[in-house]
Amino acid sequence: SGENDLLKLERNIKMASENGFIVFMRVALGRLNYPEIENIYKKANQLCVDTLQIKPVIMSGRARQNKGQLFLDKDTILNSLDKIVNLSKRSGFKTKISISCFPPAEKIGLITKFCANSDKLYLDTNGNIYHCNYIMNEANLLGNYLKDDNAVRVAIEKRINNFKNLFNSKGILKDCP
């Protein structure tokens, strides 16, 4: 990164917002930054960000090997989210808070992005294809793109054909932890 890159980024975000653009900021929430979640939210509001989306760092792919270093348990995630929800209520901040792929957040009133996109798949570095990166296990394995050239197409067809059996009425995978 170059000199003053962060200041340039902040200036550009603020300028975009001031000129009518909807600014959406996405932050990965993990062990390294969860103590700073309130400051991150304050900064997003200061920059006139329309929506701050929180994406909890999840155990998938190569990152599984470092799970103690990166990942948070559900309670820590919910407590972190609860802090910014309370901050928002106390301060009257305009920046909306949403969360990607963490259904328990609905309990504290957050906008939650659910997983009911029928053509969304998760592929690991071994070629395995799953419905979701939270439930990467044998029961939810849809195929392997390294072993079968048509595996992705077949996986999408399986997902579409079994949509009603896979998801609950809110669009969350029934096996979601």
Tens-place pLDDT, residues 39-96: 999 999 999 999 898 888 766 555 666 656 778 887 888 888 889 888 988 988 889 8
Q: What is the pLDDT of residue 151?
A: 87
Does the pLDDT value for residue 111 go beyond 90?
Answer: no
pLDDT at 177 over 70: no
The Cα 6–Cα 37 span in angstroms is: 18
Which residue is it, tokens 């400051």?
39
- Residue 163 CA to residue 157 CA, distance in Å, equals 10
pLDDT for 42: 95
Structure tokens at 149: 């050239």
Average pLDDT over residues 134-140: 76
Asked if 144 and 126 touch (Cβ cutoff 8 Å), the reply is: yes
